């Protein structure tokens, strides 16, 4: 299942956010939440998080400083959570601080996972993207034409 769209939801008094109903089945086998690289919280189906970690994080050498830092960031800021009977997940205080989440937030589909954004931060991200969209798509198209090229 691809996670798509934008859904406005509010955090409750116990730091829980409602997962959009259409996504709950895809998250029923477990959820991993973690700090995003940007100021958001990533919400992954457990199996997808483990696949991402196996492909991108675990191969990083623990002997190199960059590998250690990325591994610390991913594993140190992530946690497994459950969806409660009302379709909510609880976010820890560190995750809330990282993404400046309080009150109304935006749950955004990103294909293989969800992101939870502060509304103002999402507006800034969207504005920045719009300003760079043509250049970004051109760079990505060039990478696709050049075998072995990375971002």
Entry pTM: 0.92
For the chain, count helices (H), then strands (E).
Answer: 4, 8
Q: Give me the domains of the chain, ranges plus CATH numbers.
A: 6-118 (3.40.1550.20)
CA atoms of 74 and 85, how far apart (whole Å): 28
pLDDT for res 147 = 74
DSSP secondary-structure letter at 36?
-
Give per-10-residue mean pLDDT for the chain (151 aa).
95 96 96 97 98 96 95 97 96 98 94 97 95 95 80 52
Angle ∠(127,131,137) on CA atoms, nearest 5: 115
CB 17 within 8 A of CB 108: no
């Amino acid at each position: 299942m691809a996670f798509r769209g934008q859904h406005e939801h509010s955090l409750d008094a116990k730091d829980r956010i409602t997962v959009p109903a259409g996504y709950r089945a895809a998250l029923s086998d477990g959820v991993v939440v973690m700090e995003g690289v940007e100021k958001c919280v990533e919400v992954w189906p457990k199996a997808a998080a483990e696949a991402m970690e196996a492909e991108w994080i675990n191969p990083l050498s623990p002997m190199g400083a960059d590998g250690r830092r990325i591994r610390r960031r991913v594993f140190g800021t992530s946690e497994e959570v459950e969806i409660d009977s009302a379709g909510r997940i609880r976010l820890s205080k560190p995750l809330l601080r990282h993404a400046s989440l309080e009150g109304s937030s935006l749950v955004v589909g990103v294909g293989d996972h969800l992101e939870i954004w502060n509304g103002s931060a999402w507006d800034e991200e969207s504005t920045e993207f719009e300003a760079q969209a043509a250049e970004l798509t051109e760079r990505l198209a060039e990478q696709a034409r050049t075998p072995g090229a990375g971002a």
